[in-house]
Amino acid sequence: MGIFSWLSDRFKNEDRELSHVHDEDSLSSDVAESVDQVSSETSTHTSTGDVLEDLARQSDTLSVPTLERIGLLFDAQEWKWQFDQDGDIASAWDRSMFYFRMIGKQKEIFSVFAIRRGLIAREHRSELLLTIEDWHRTYLWPKGYFREAEGDALEVCAEFTIDLEHGVTDEQLLVHCRCAIATTLQFFEEIDQRFGVPEDPSDS
């Protein structure tokens, strides 16, 4: 299945759960709308009227995004988020943490960094490396890798990065956000299938 077909099905069939550190809410907006319906979708929300008016005025403007602008888009989608200690936007899907950043000399590069929930035992290092290599041979993004964590374990991460030096409309920026989230979750699901779904501490 292609990335974009999977992305469409992913947002169509399930509501994403986003949470702060101590809270979880289901997405209230239907993120199954296709890319060409993003403008009409964001204009129909009534609970964030002022935000949507601002977005409508900017929707056809090509400009390098800021974190504040990304936050407004999240508000319009009623996605929960907060600024972390580094000033980046932090949110969560399926209990995995996502960080939305603007990096580069001119803050022109949009980067979404995600950390998979749960850890993998170090003894599976070689198998994990092969799994990630298989992913990279099959898909263009996100970039996957792992790093050492406490307790002699490995933590799986993913990055989606795109240069927006020449600007982007709000509709295009929202597409990039959705693509980063959906494809990263697909990558994490691939890891889950190979190494098992991490136990949710709340289950106990």
What topology does CATH give the domain 3-21+32-198?
Yope Regulator; Chain: A, (3.30.1460)
CB proximity list for 98: less than 8 A, separation 6 or greater: 90, 91, 92, 112, 113, 114, 180, 181, 184
How confident is the model at residue 50, as a pLDDT? 64
Q: Is a pLDDT exceeding 80 seen at residue 10?
A: no
Query: What pTM was computed for the model?
Result: 0.70
Residue 189's nearest CA partner among 24, 23, 10 is 10
Summarised one tens digit per residue, pLDDT across range 46-100 is: 455 565 556 555 556 788 899 999 999 999 999 999 999 999 999 999 999 999 9
Cα–Cα distance measured from residue 116 to residue 201, given in angstroms and rounded to the nearest whole number: 14
Say which residue, 176 or 5, is predicted with more confidence. 176
Percent of the chain past pLDDT 70, that is, above it, reads 68
86-115: average pLDDT: 96
- At residue 177 the predicted structure's pLDDT band, cuts being 50, 70 and 90, is very high
The helix/strand/coil state of 14 is coil
Residue 17 has pLDDT above 80, yes or no: no
Alpha helices for the chain (secondary structure H): 3-13, 38-43, 49-58, 67-77, 125-138, 170-195
Residue 56: predicted pLDDT? 53
**82: which residues sit within 8 A by CB, 6+ positions away?**
20, 89, 90, 91
**What residue ranges do the domains of the chain occupy?**
3-21+32-198
Indicate left, alpha or beta for 190 from its phi (over 0: left) and psi (-120 to 50: alpha): alpha
pLDDT of 30 over the 50 cut:
no
- Identify residue 146 by its one-letter amino acid code: F
Tell me the average pLDDT across 32-41. Answer: 40
Please report, in angstroms and rounded to a whole number, the separation of the first and last CA atoms in the chain: 35
